[in-house]
């Protein structure tokens, strides 16, 4: 798994287990793969909206809003 696929992040505005808890319970999975699998289970495709990209070219930070069904979260992704 590449560093770009791993990344790390924080979420706000949602009532889901922390990403650390989900990754610990699912070794070898990325945050995106867990979200895609969850969406598949409930029949809803995750929608990703890039809200902000900032930082230096070699160390960017991205803020996304991710919506699955009626649940939206804001995620800061640090590759």
| Segment 36-55, tens digit of pLDDT | 888 898 899 999 999 999 99
Per-residue pLDDT reduced to its tens digit, 1-10: 333 334 455 5
First and final C-alpha spacing in the chain? 12
pLDDT at 77: 76
pTM over 0.95: no
The number of distinct structural domains making up the chain is 1
CATH code of the domain containing 25: 3.30.160.20
- Burial label for 25, CB within 10 Å (0-12, 13-18, 19+), is exposed
Q: C-alpha angle 35/36/38, rounded to 5°?
A: 65
Can you tell me the distance from the alpha carbon of 18 to that of 20, in angstroms, rounded to the nearest whole number? 5
pLDDT at 3: 36
Find the domain containing 9 and state its range.
Answer: 3-77
Calculate what percentage of the chain has a pLDDT beyond 90. 27
Per-residue pLDDT reduced to its tens digit, 19-29: 678 788 888 88
Backbone angles phi, psi at 75, to 5 degrees: -125, 130
């Amino acid at each position: 798994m590449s560093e770009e696929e791993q990344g790390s992040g924080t979420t706000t505005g949602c009532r889901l287990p922390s990403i650390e808890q989900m990754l610990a319970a699912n070794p070898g999975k990325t945050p995106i793969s867990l979200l895609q699998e969850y969406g598949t289970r409930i029949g809803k495709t995750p929608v990703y909206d890039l809200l902000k990209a900032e930082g230096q070219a070699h160390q960017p930070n991205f803020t996304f809003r991710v919506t699955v069904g009626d649940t939206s979260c804001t995620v800061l992704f640090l590759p």
